[in-house]
Structure 1
Amino acid sequence: MDRTDFILSSDSARLGRDTRQLARRAAAGELRRIRQGVYAPAAVWDALKFWDKYPLLVQAAASTLQNRTVFCRASSAALWDLPVLGRSLLVHACTFDDRGGRSRAGVRRHFADAGLLQVDERRGLLVTSRLQTVLDLAAFESFEQAVAALDHVLKPQPGLAPLSKSELDAGIGTNYSASAARRIRAALDFADAASGSAGESVSRALMHRLGFQSPTLQSEVFDARGFAGRPDFEWCEDRLCGEFDGLVKYQKPEYLQGRTASDVVIEEKRREDRIRATGRRVIRWTWKGISCSARFGAYLSAMGVPRQTRPACRH
């Protein structure tokens, strides 16, 4: 689905049609009201995964705004295909009015200095640059969101070169307050290109915040037959491995690589069995498991994940 599938009440009005008909079709379940004045076919919208809906919400907002707008923060991040945590429906856009930002019709405005703003175009919309978008997330969002975004951009992505830590640090400049710059640098120091997914990044950031020892990422485990597997996390002195199970590996084509979800589950089970046979324990968690930091911390403690009382092992 793309924005050409949207049905705009403004188009209906321009053609002399009764715009109330759209509301009646939505009430009947034929359409979904995406935002004020924007509808989509219900069957098409409902078939989308949650991670595919938010960029469309941004595009829907753009279709109803009178002036061409520069989108920022989570909205720009979604258009850059950066991991965006949570399921907020709020769209974020820049304003050059120094009286500050405000929310209206689901769009939150953030003040931006026009002389410092770095603007690019993604999916036909104006957005803050990839570098500025990541720094803004690190400055104004949670540590977990910052780490997820930074880990992502440190690796090459389809059609996009990686950003280096030195580039990101240089981008801070004098564009942020001292406290925001500290938050950015704390996340930047912690960021690691070895992280395999947003869920792994969030898990690691939570471990750090909760006082657990930093694990080795993507370590290689060998058995008598050779390479056995590469767990997401390993605390080698404790012979303990951790695995984050996200939905994407069972749903997105780029992860399935021609396999069925069942194939992936079977491969994961065989890999884990071989890792366990080396004498290591393997613990697992999902997005639900990290949705509550206190519950995640209690789980890690119960499973014997070491606290920050000794330096993490290095391979």
Structure 2
Amino acid sequence: MRIVFAGTPEVALPSLEALLDSDHEVVAVLTRPDAPSGRGKKLTPSPVAARAAELGIETLKPVRPREPEFLDRLAAIAPDCCPVVAYGALLPQNLLDLVPHGFINLHFSLLPAWRGAAPVQHAVLAGDGVTGATTFRIVAALDAGPVFDTVTEPIGPTDTSGDLLQRLSITGAALLVSTLDGIADGSLTPTEQPDDGVTLAPKISVDDARLDWTRPAAELDRAVRGCTPAPGAWTTFRGERLKIGSATPVPEHPGSPGELTVTKRSVTVAAGEGTGLELGQVQAQGKKPMPAADWARGLTFTTTDVLGS
């Protein structure tokens, strides 16, 4: 099939590469416009746009995918199908109607669970034991289209969202190629999603990533892992933000929520229900990430010092 690949961030690259190595012909790439990046806020192409430029593939970067000029160009290219991986914008119905086999999305959850922008993060936050990836035809409703196929992926006890997404980007790429193969030869037909089992996964904001020390350590551990690498879990210490990059739950630990126990080798924070969280890597405001014990070594603590204040 002639395809136009739609994707933007680095997580979409394995799928692009897999499609380039497949029997399908990638005739163009659709991605988000160049965006300011770095300290100088220089306009920078997306990872998918950069890779397409290296390969000499035509790249479409509409500000909004309903622009007449873009719609006319896509109609002229006349793809049979448009696979989508983390493109980052809603696709209007008149665009969906342009392509014979539609826009086929690779979504990083087992739909109908975790529809939305942050499915991997929410799976970790919820303590799910298994997640996966799903290919489905995009419709107007959010992640509600009929499903072609799925692949599962266990969530390990120390997995961060970044770890999980990296693995899913690889297994999902193979799933996307096999889905397009099945569409091309007519062996694969989609199945409507059930009405039950729907959960939502909205984008996680910086405010959402603030740790609440009244929660038990197991939940705080999932919060740290679910928000890593972005937006990054955090708390406050002496009125300044302290990022928590990694941590280990302690099943039994005395103290009031946020109270610190500091030794030469460890920093443990009292959490809810008589539990604690031993901090791994932390990053104080204006500093580089470092082991929590190194951070604590440069401070003089008082009995009134707590996290979250």
Q: Which has the higher helix share?
A: 1
TM over 0.5: no
Q: Which has the higher strand share?
A: 2
Q: TM-score, normalised by structure 2?
A: 0.26
Q: Relative contact order (alpha carbons < 8 A, sep ≥ 6): 1 or 2 greater?
A: 2
